Chains A and B, each alone.
Chain A
Amino acid sequence: MLNFFQLILIYAGIYAIMAIGQNCITGYTGMLSLCHAGFFCIGSYATAIICKTFGLSFWFSLPVAAIVSGFVGLLIGIPTLRLKGDYLCIATLGLGEIIRNVATNLNPVGYNSIPRATLFGYQFASRNKLAFIFLIWAFVLIFYILFQQLAHSRLGRAMIAVREDEVAAQSNGINVTKYKISSFVLGAAVGGIAGCLQTAYTLTVQPGSYTFMVSVMVLCTVVLGGMGNAKAVILGAVIIQFISYLPQLTGLTNVIPAQAKQIIYGLLLVVMMLCRPQGILGRDKYRYGDPRTRKEKLHDFFVHPRKAKGGKV
């Protein structure tokens, strides 16, 4: 039981990171991309090749995974991001499958027994789940802070303008193409890092595990929590993983069919769109115009938690 809770936390963390990337693409900039599984795949393969084939450190593979999938994101993004909504969705779906096909043809059996990650002499072994929970959620926290900062900066605002109305955004001097591509590359890079972390945990890479379903799951995570809201997306990841491990948690693995969770994801997408398109937590509640500096905000957060909550002027 505890075992499964720990597993849920680990995978929720990995999916939260992926969802933060997808949220950058879909939530901020409003592009419905369906190839996050592809970036996840590239990150995993990059890590496997660097750690196993070249015998280099996991910590070195981390930026490489980000750069490689970001670069693939750039290659994909430059031609496809001109496409509008539905077409972009289908083109990226195709690209995700191409990435997986290429990976399968490259190495049909995948990689096994990849060397473990170490930190200050400590070895991250898969059986020590607690260490992984700390490692992965540290990354979740880092990406949460980084993307929160992005969303509330000039750059993030420009992305949101593109989501809301491309023509108006152009007329406000926003280079729509540049922001679309940047946001796509950023999202892709974060997806790659999620793949890297997953490889560090499982120590195996199999091409079969990067199907379209993963992309839909990530999309579902973002929609469930609330598009454009980083906090909500992390909550979404926890819920999605909880659903995914429900059969094991309840001990009903024999009763609940394997497809049940996928059906639930599909239902979630439809029901959320019908009843609560803004997601469980809804939009980002951030309001500009808080005259306090960051230092004062932190002070309020820790010293007067109540005042910090109503940080509206």
Chain B
Amino acid sequence: MDTITLYMQYIVNGLTLGAIYSLIALGYTMVYGILKFINFAHGDILMVGAFIGLLVYNGLTGGEGAETGAWTLTAFFIAMIVSMGFCALLGMAIERIAYKPLRNANRLAPLLSAIGVSFILSNGAAWIFGTQSRRFPYPFENEPIHIGAITITPHQIVVVVVSVVMMILLTSFVSKTRMGKAMRAASLDQATSMLMGINVNRVISLTFAIGSALAAVGGILAAFDFRVYPSMGTMTGLKAFVAAVIGGIGNLQGAMIGGVLLGILEAVGAPLLHIPNGMRDTVAFAVLIIVLLVKPDGLLGKNEREKV
């Protein structure tokens, strides 16, 4: 394979990865937009989503050995919907219990609380499911398709299609519906939207629900590539957070673009720069810190300054 096709292949892989990052980054960005705080537990919600999806799917199909066909595909979508519902409720519950009472507290308080929630979720999962990683079986024949010299697997197509559908749904929800408009209003100015008769508490609950549901989808899609294990949310969550920052935190389009950009950068950059496997995470963290330092406002974010 010549170099150009090789890199085309990396870009295709990166696109898949990026779609997943985008879905998760949306949750970070939506919460930040309204509450101006980073939901540390978001990465762990995606882990919970992956586990629930796996449990439901295995429950419906009998797991690994099942013959792929229409039923496994249906089961996969049922699993995804159940997991989305579960995570939406989980996200709302977390917000209600651990963040809402702290909305007017010291700025460190919700952050510490979020770290606590993240710890509870990841260790709780380790307790219930054990620390070993599990494979998420493909609900369809995963025979690679060759287009020229480039190989695309059906699961990559599913990942991209599902992510794009989710993003279109979200965008039209936010721009067309009343609740979506309320969400945008609340992220611009909470006090004023309250005066305009918007139930800000409900908007925030909904934001967490949507963000967590998207994380559940992201978790299930990520499970194909990364397997399912209790600490899977940490690294994936952090990278998605970087994606949100690259795009400009608080900005929905930014999160989508940032996710795809990061996915491609990761897939192309690692082999291009010959980064050894053991150093991948180190490089990822270094990129994270550099992004935070150099471009904390991101590509599409606006510069926020404190009023004196």
Contacts and interface: CB of A to CB of B under 8 A. Distances in A.
A95 B285 contact: yes
A274 B106 CA distance: 11
A270 B111 contact: no
B157 interface: no
A90 B127 contact: no
Contact of A266 (B110, B117, B278, B293): B117
B292 A83 contact: yes
Interface of B: 37-38, 97-98, 101-102, 105-113, 115-121, 123-124, 126-127, 234, 238, 241, 278-279, 281-282, 285-286, 288-289, 292-293, 296, 306, 308
A290 interface: no
A90 B285 CA distance: 10
- Range for the number of chain A residues in contact with chain B: 35 or more
A164 B111 CA distance: 17
Contacts of B288: 90-91, 94
Given A32-B111, A89-B111, A90-B241, A266 B289 contact: no
A266 B127 CA distance: 14
Given A83-B292, A90-B241, A94-B288, A274 B115 contact: no
Contacts of A34: 115
A266 B94 CA distance: 13
B198 to A, nearest CB: 25
A87 B292 contact: yes
Contacts of B111: 32, 85-86, 89
Given A80-B293, A86-B38, 7 more contacts: A87-B292, A97-B285, A101-B282, A102-B282, A263-B120, A270-B117, A273-B116
Nearest to B94: A270
B105 A277 contact: yes
A274 B102 contact: yes
B116 A101 contact: no
Contacts of B117: 266, 270
13 contacts: A85-B107, A86-B37, A86-B111, A95-B285, A101-B278, A101-B279, A101-B281, A263-B124, A266-B116, A266-B121, A269-B112, A270-B98, A273-B112
Interface in A252-274: 257, 259-260, 262-263, 265-270, 272-274
A244 B145 CA distance: 52
A293 interface: no
Contacts of B118: 266
Contacts of B120: 263, 266-267, 270
B30 to A, nearest CB: 15
Given A91-B288, A101-B282, A105-B278, A216 B119 contact: yes
A94 B241 CA distance: 12
Contacts of B112: 32, 219, 223, 269, 272-273
A104 B280 CA distance: 13
A83 B111 CA distance: 15
Nearest to B107: A85
A90 B241 CA distance: 9
A138 interface: no
A267 B113 CA distance: 9
A65 to B, nearest CB: 23
Interface in A45-103: 79-80, 82-83, 85-87, 89-91, 93-95, 97-98, 101-102
Contacts of B121: 266
Contacts of A93: 238
Contact of B119 (A80, A263, A274): A263
B116 A267 contact: yes
A167 interface: yes
B293 A83 contact: yes
Nearest to A102: B282
A90 B98 contact: no
A98 B286 contact: yes
A186 to B, nearest CB: 19
Interface string A219-237: 1000100000000000000
Contact of B115 (A82, A219, A277): A219
